[in-house]
């Protein structure tokens, strides 16, 4: 992913497996397929039924497990995590799964999302004597579990989850079972699959295809899934309101070959592109998409408009994840290293450039400039989502309005800022129609907070200064 270019990042992916003779290699391949959800750190914890074994580190999955560590991790179950760094910075202590040991056994947990009341809970726990080792909001849940007063780990987890608010897809593992939980609003995706006699869980269904698993169903909002040697059972820890799954999973975050809540991401994005062409047509010669997440929408726009689709922008897949940028000149060069305009496609042409979002505006300005330098006669920018005007507190790295250009500028002012000939965004109604969520559900089952400012959960005073998100 163009993390340095795009300016919008998701925080983490989780994977779990129980009842397979080689859980660690399966978890490795599962995490590899979720690499787009986080590139800063990765980890796997394996249980052999009696103890937990951990390996984690900074970097990509194949870097963390590049010396054969996976070959020494035997067991019957595993959970894994890929992580994107936000407020807390790159720190090995924050890399998950986190593991906690006590006289009664060990607990490993991994988390995708963000707890909006983590800071207030942490202050409360510290006053009661808790000592925190990380800056991750995930550690708060471990302390709540151990302080619950219940004997059974399932009851401990259910009790702890009643106290946390926000977005979360949790994986817990103790010596003899794997437990997964999804927040009552279902803000983050989490699916269940079968692999032989075992079960797998993943943030995205694309992992099932990689490992040869069969999709079973989604984890329901407010549901606790317990998997052990006896099989899978389900309990509820919360009565669920109407589902509010993150709209940006469909627009940007999830892989095109994943199904999120039984809707294929590629088809949803293609439909968004068609909707965009209906709402904002333009006379042009060629349509191109910003790789990779906007390609599907660009294909849809081209099909609906009748304007040919071409690969006008190419991503360089061999650029390292970090790049030294001590000056503005080198920052511009860094963009050119990651993305190139195809002169033979755009020169002398009126180009429709499809992108999925404009966050701060700097990326769009640089890409428009690339197209003009390659000879584009006109550049018309079309965005396959509404303007992002409000911060996200649920696990996306836009926690303040000041980071968002659409919160302070009009569409015309943004157009001038990025240097486009025209600029148009998809409407909120077009977004919901394009994705195809059930209209009988409130908010069509989606979280639209970053577009509308209507949040599905209470937002706490300390949320403006969140801890490390995962």
Provide the 3-class DSSP secondary structure of residue 9.
coil
The Cα–Cα gap between 87 and 25 comes to 31
Q: Looking at 12, 246, 444, 447, which residue is catalytic?
A: 12
CB atoms within 10 A of CB 348: 9
Q: Count CA atoms within 13 Å of residue 209 on its CB side.
A: 10
Torsion over CA: 291, 3, 351, 273 (sign): positive
Whether 269 contacts 251, CB under 8 Å: yes
**Crossing angle for the helix pair 411-418 and 362-373, to the nearest 10 degrees:** 50
The DSSP result for 38-80, as a single string, is --SEEEEEEE-SS-EEEEEEES-HHHHTTTSGGGG--SSEEEE
Structure tokens at 90: 């790159």
Which residue carries 């061999």 as its tokens? 318
Whether 276 contacts 430, CB under 8 Å: yes
Q: Which residues lie across from 361 on neighbouring strands? A: none
* Residues 6 or more apart whose Cβ sits within 8 Å of residue 67: none
Structure tokens at 21: 């003779």
The Cα–Cα gap between 470 and 14 comes to 10
CA dist 31 to 109, 168, 202, Å?
Answer: 15, 18, 9
Whether 45 contacts 78, CB under 8 Å: yes
* Residues 6 or more apart whose Cβ sits within 8 Å of residue 299: 270, 273, 289, 309
- How far out from the chain centre does Cα 217 lie? 19
The secondary structure element, H or E, covering residue 157 is helix 153-161
Whether 168 contacts 181, CB under 8 Å: yes
- Is 12 an active-site residue? yes
The Cα–Cα gap between 154 and 399 comes to 32
Q: Catalogue the active-site residues.
A: 12
């Amino acid at each position: 992913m163009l993390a340095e270019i795009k300016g919008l990042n998701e925080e983490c992916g989780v994977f779990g497996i129980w009842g397979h003779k080689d859980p660690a290699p399966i978890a490795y391949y599962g995490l590899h397929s979720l690499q787009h959800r986080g590139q800063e750190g990765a980890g796997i914890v394996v249980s052999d039924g009696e103890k937990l074994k951990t390996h984690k580190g900074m970097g990509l999955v194949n870097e963390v497990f590049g010396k054969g560590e996976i070959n020494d991790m035997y067991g019957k179950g595993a959970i894994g995590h890929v992580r994107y760094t936000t407020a807390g910075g790159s720190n090995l202590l924050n890399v998950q799964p986190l593991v906690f040991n006590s006289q009664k056994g060990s607990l490993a947990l991994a988390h995708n999302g963000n707890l909006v009341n983590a800071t207030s809970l942490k202050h409360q726990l510290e006053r009661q004597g808790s000592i925190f080792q990380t800056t991750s909001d995930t550690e708060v849940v471990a302390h709540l579990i151990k302080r619950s007063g219940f004997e059974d780990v399932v009851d401990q987890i259910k009790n702890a989850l009643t106290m946390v608010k926000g977005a979360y897809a949790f994986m817990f593992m103790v010596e003899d079972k794997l437990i997964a939980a999804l927040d009552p609003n279902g803000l983050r995706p989490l699916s269940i699959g079968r692999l032989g006699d075992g079960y797998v869980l993943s943030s995205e269904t694309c992992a099932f295809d990689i490992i040869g698993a069969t999709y079973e169903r989604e984890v329901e909002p407010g549901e606790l899934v317990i998997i052990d040697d006896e099989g899978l059972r389900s309990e509820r820890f919360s009565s669920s309101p109407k589902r509010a799954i993150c709209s940006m999973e469909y627009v940007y975050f999830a892989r095109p070959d994943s199904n999120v809540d039984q809707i294929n991401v590629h088809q949803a994005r293609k439909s968004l592109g068609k909707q965009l062409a209906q709402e904002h047509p333009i006379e042009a010669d060629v349509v191109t998409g910003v790789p990779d997440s906007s390609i599907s929408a660009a294909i849809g726009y081209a099909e609906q408009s009748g304007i040919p689709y071409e690969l006008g922008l190419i991503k360089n897949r061999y650029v390292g994840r970090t790049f030294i940028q001590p000056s503005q000149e080198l920052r511009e060069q860094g963009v050119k290293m990651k993305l190139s305009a195809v002169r033979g496609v755009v020169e002398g042409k009126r180009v429709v450039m499809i992108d999925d979002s404009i966050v701060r505006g700097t990326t769009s300005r640089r890409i428009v400039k690339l197209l003009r330098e390659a000879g584009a006669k006109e550049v018309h920018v079309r965005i396959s989502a509404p303007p992002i005007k409000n911060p996200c507190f649920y696990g996306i790295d836009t926690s303040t309005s000041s980071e968002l250009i659409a919160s302070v500028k009009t569409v015309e002012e943004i157009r001038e800022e990025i240097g486009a000939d025209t600029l148009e965004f998809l409407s909120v109604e077009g977004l919901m129609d394009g994705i195809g969520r059930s209209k009988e559900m409130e908010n069509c089952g989606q979280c639209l907070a970053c577009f509308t400012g209507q949040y599905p959960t209470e937002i706490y005073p300390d949320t403006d200064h969140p801890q490390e998100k995962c």
